[in-house]
Amino acid sequence: MQESAHDGTPRYPTSLGTSDADSISLLGHDLAGELMGKVGFGELALWLVTQRRPEPGDVRVFEAVLVALADHGFTPTAITTRLTYLSAPDSVQGALAAGLLGGGSRFLGVTEDCGAFLHDIVAAHPQRLPDDADEAGWDRLALQTVRVAHAQRRRVPGLGHPVHKVRDPRTPVLLRIAEDNGRKGPHLRLFEAVGRVHPQVLGRTLPLNGAGVCGAALADLGLPVGLLRGFALLARTAGLLGHLAEEQRAPVGMDVYLSVDRNARYADPSGNG
């Protein structure tokens, strides 16, 4: 909200960064003297969003999430970044932006979708959540949750993976890291329970995917659910930079383009030929 000084000069309050001719202030601290070389980037990212300095356990879980989401190979976001760079090698920012814009409901967006889904359930039962050790209680809540979603023909975010059909290797590791650091809260416990009970409703067993467990972990850190996709994009930015660096060293963008272009065939829209 804009404020005004006594002389009518507009002021724009911020709790983030400001600067003058001699110094830069960030989060109320001198950037050069108090933060550089003393605060890691993951810690700073959490601090910027929450406006409180995170504890070491928060940082360990958060950085594990960033590592889990950084890169998954030639996903559509990575291919888009490489092909945009092929078309406009003078625009690294355009290539990065193109890849990030592809973060949606199928890729990267699951982190936010799962976190928000779990958050809605947790927020609806603030006084009736099971104790941490009450696995049966969490299973009952999860079973009710999955049944309602199934009856409403809604998918349960975080279930299933196009490659990891039995187990996503990231999921048990992040659960262990959260447990070891005292950050395994109601969102992760509910997500675990969903993994145990969903076959009773769906009639098949699906893995809890890494994007979903990352969303649950971020929600347990108290981060705004409306920003969870932003953290997934923060992680993926590092991966896309890696793809750009590799594209410079050993380009494949032209091969991808030519493979599609040279194998394109006209298809009669009527289906007659």
| pLDDT tens-digit readout, 124-181 | 987 789 999 999 999 999 999 999 999 999 999 999 988 888 999 999 999 999 999 9
Domains of the chain, first to last = 109-227 (1.10.230.10)
Which has more pLDDT, 105 or 212?
212
The residue-averaged pLDDT of 206-231 equals: 96
Per-residue pLDDT, 3: 58
Per-residue exposure over 146-177, b if at least 16 CB sit within 10 Å of its own CB, e if not: beebeeeeeebbbbbbeeeeeebebbeebbeb
Give me the residue label for tokens 């194998």.
Answer: 263
Per-residue pLDDT, 174: 98
Per-residue pLDDT, 272: 73
pTM: 0.91
Tell me what the pLDDT averaged over the chain comes to: 93
The residue-averaged pLDDT of 52-56 equals: 96
| pLDDT tens-digit readout, 67-90 | 999 998 999 999 999 999 999 999
| pLDDT tens-digit readout, 227-265 | 999 999 999 999 999 999 999 999 999 999 999 999 999
pLDDT class of 200 with cuts at 50, 70, 90: very high
Distance separating alpha carbons of residues 270 and 87, to the nearest angstrom: 33
Distance separating alpha carbons of residues 39 and 31, to the nearest angstrom: 10
Per-residue pLDDT, 5: 59
Four-CA torsion 95, 98, 102, 108, nearest 10 degrees: 50
Contact between residue 191 and residue 212 where contact means Cβ atoms under 8 Å apart: yes
Per-residue exposure over 100-110, b if at least 16 CB sit within 10 Å of its own CB, e if not: bebbeeebbbb
